[in-house]
Structure formats: C-alpha cells, structure tokens
C-alpha cells in the first residue's frame, strides 16, 4: 500500500508540508495510520512544477523517504505552487528507481496507490494497447506506469476525466476476458501543472482511502507560518490526513473523481467507460 500527497496553491517550499507538520507524508512512510501496509520504505518520489517551465522536475530514489538527506535538503530549497509526492510499498514490482512514482511524460505527472489484481494474466494485452509513440517511454515494471500510458493513449492530454474513465473501463474489460472479475483497485493523482485530478475507485467498491482539505484555513492551522504568504486558493489531496486534526480533511466517496482548478474542488461520481 503506497501513500501519496498533492498540493496546489501559492508557491511554497516543499518542506512546509512534507516535513514541518505532524503526520506528514514522510511520517506516514514510517507509520501509516490508515493503510494495510504501515511502512512505505520501497522508495519515494517528488514531482514539482516551477513556472514558467512547463516540464515538471522529478526526483526519485529507492531509499526510504525518512532516511534520505538529499530529499530533506531538496525540500528545503525547492519552491513550487503545485507538487505531487509519493512513498512506495511494493507488492509485485521490483524496487528500482524507474518503478518509483511520480511518472512523468511531457507536462504530466501521475501517482497511484493500489494494484491491478491478477495483472500477470493480462499485462501483455494492456501493453499492446499503448500507442506506439508512447510505448518506448515505459521504463519500469509496475502496473501503475502501464495505467499512466494507457491514460495518455486514451486522450489524457485533451480530456483527463474521460481518458481516466476509458483507461479504467478498458482494464476491467480485458481482465474479465482472463477470468479476473474485480481487477482494479486505485486512487490516482494526475496533473498538467495547472490543475489536479484525483480518483478513488475499485472494481469491488472498496478502494484505498483518499482525502482533500476543506479549505485554506485548515492548511493554515496545520502550518500557521503559511497564513501570511498564501492566498485562499490552497488545496491538498492525500491518501490520509496530514497534520494534528484529521477532521480538517474530507474523505473522498468511493467511486469519485475530484477536479481542483484554482480554489475550487469539484467532486463527481466516477464510472469506468463501458
């Protein structure tokens, strides 16, 4: 069970939310409170946007996040208005840098928590569907990376919500042909540097946890030093609440898609495209 965290708002040092609050993502990598796997020590990754650059920065490592001085130093130096972070607990794929999240293509970043159950039965069919010009960019062995490149194949760059629905529907259809009736189990975080999209969905209706911050005031309560520097368009999406008070976060309903544009959060039902 992995853990991930996404921030969109005014430009801040990454350490403000990854290190300087209680139960931060780094704390969760050592002792998660709402995951089947409490320790996430099989690598980590950061993806961040630094306008006017459109291509996000990326740093990934197979070391545990809590024991990497490079990570702490980078987070004290990098400022960003939008970033995604991920700590990994692998179930099937090898521990290697190319398997660490986020995955990046062009201006897009992608993080995943969950699994494709029984993927060994239908992985080849999924890979066959990936667009030829995208296929050579797949460098690792995770089901997550396959999901990302399928999403790009199905139109992520022009229609993010629709592409994610088409990706999920395709995976479920292919899995059923191989006798796997409940294959998909996920939360996803996706960004193009301007907006954030997040999903909570599972074929069996029991997806991993996902939360979003209620409003900017809750973020300021977690780290009061941010109040004077940031406006109200501050939002966080996370696998589990960060900070001292879990009630500052709203649980995303099962089968939902979240869109974050500016300070607006829109929550809609999510259904894989048949």
Domain membership flag for residue 166: no
Residues spanned by the domain of 198: 3-112+186-269
Q: Is 70 exceeded by the pLDDT of residue 147? A: yes
Domain membership flag for residue 141: no
8 within 8 A of 45, measured Cβ to Cβ: no
Q: How far apart are CA 8 and CA 212, in angstroms?
A: 11
Edge-to-edge strand ranges of the sheet holding 249-251: 57-61, 44-49, 79-87, 3-13, 235-238, 211-213, 249-251
Instruction: Calculate the average pLDDT of the chain.
Output: 90
Q: How do residues 154-212 score in pLDDT, each as one tens digit?
A: 999 999 999 999 999 999 999 999 999 999 999 999 999 999 999 999 999 999 999 99
Domain membership flag for residue 134: no
Q: How do residues 66-121 score in pLDDT, each as one tens digit?
A: 778 899 999 999 999 999 999 986 666 577 899 999 999 999 999 999 999 999 99
Q: How do residues 6-54 score in pLDDT, each as one tens digit?
A: 999 989 999 999 988 888 888 877 655 555 555 554 789 999 999 999 9
Q: How far apart are CA 37 and CA 236, in angstroms?
A: 22
Domain membership flag for residue 175: no
Residue 247 confidence class, pLDDT cut points 50, 70, 90 = confident
Domain total of the chain:
1
Residue 261 confidence class, pLDDT cut points 50, 70, 90 = confident
Q: How much is the pLDDT for 89?
A: 66
Domain membership flag for residue 197: yes
Q: What is the largest CA-CA distance in the chain?
A: 56
Q: Domain with 225 in it: what CATH number?
A: 3.60.20.10
- The residue among 273 and 31 whose pLDDT is bigger is 273
Q: How much is the pLDDT for 72?
A: 92
- Matching residue, tokens 């209680």: 22
Indicate the burial class of 1 (C-beta count within 10 angstroms; 0-12, 13-18, 19 or more): buried
pTM: 0.93
Domain membership flag for residue 165: no
From 202, 166, 163, 177, select the one nearest 125 (Cα to Cα). 177
Q: How much is the pLDDT for 80?
A: 96
Lowest average pLDDT, out of 43-52, 159-168, 233-242, 264-273, goes to 233-242
* Cα angle value 274/191/53 (rounded, 5°): 145
Domain membership flag for residue 10: yes
Q: How much is the pLDDT for 175?
A: 98
Domain membership flag for residue 199: yes
Please, which residues have CB within 8 angstroms of residue 236's CB and are 6 or more apart in sequence?
5, 6, 7, 17, 212, 213, 219, 242, 249
């Amino acid at each position: 069970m992995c853990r991930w965290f996404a921030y969109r708002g005014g430009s801040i040092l990454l350490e403000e939310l990854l290190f300087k609050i209680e139960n931060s993502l780094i704390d969760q990598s050592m002792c998660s409170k709402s995951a089947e796997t409490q320790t996430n020590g099989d690598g980590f990754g950061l993806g961040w946007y630094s306008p006017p650059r459109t291509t996000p920065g990326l740093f990934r490592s197979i070391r545990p996040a809590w024991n990497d001085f490079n990570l702490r130093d980078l987070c004290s130096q990098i400022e960003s208005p939008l970033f995604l972070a991920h700590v990994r607990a692998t179930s099937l794929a090898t521990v290697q840098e190319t398997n660490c999240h986020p995955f990046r293509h062009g201006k897009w970043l992608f993080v995943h928590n969950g699994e494709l159950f029984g993927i060994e039965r239908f992985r080849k069919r999924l890979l066959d569907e990936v667009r030829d010009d995208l296929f050579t960019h797949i460098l690792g062995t995770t089901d997550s990376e396959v999901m990302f490149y399928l999403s790009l194949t199905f139109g992520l760059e022009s229609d993010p919500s629709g592409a994610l629905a088409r990706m999920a529907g395709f995976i479920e259809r292919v899995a059923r042909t191989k006798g796997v009736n409940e294959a998909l189990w996920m939360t996803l975080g996706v960004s193009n540097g301007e907006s954030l999209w997040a999903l909570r969905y599972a074929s069996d209706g029991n997806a991993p946890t996902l939360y979003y911050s209620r409003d900017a005031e809750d973020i300021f309560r977690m780290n009061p030093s941010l109040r004077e520097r940031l406006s109200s368009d501050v939002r966080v999406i996370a696998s589990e609440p960060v900070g001292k008070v879990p009630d500052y976060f709203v649980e995303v309903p099962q089968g939902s898609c979240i869109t974050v544009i500016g300070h607006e959060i829109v929550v809609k039902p999510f259904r894989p495209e048949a």
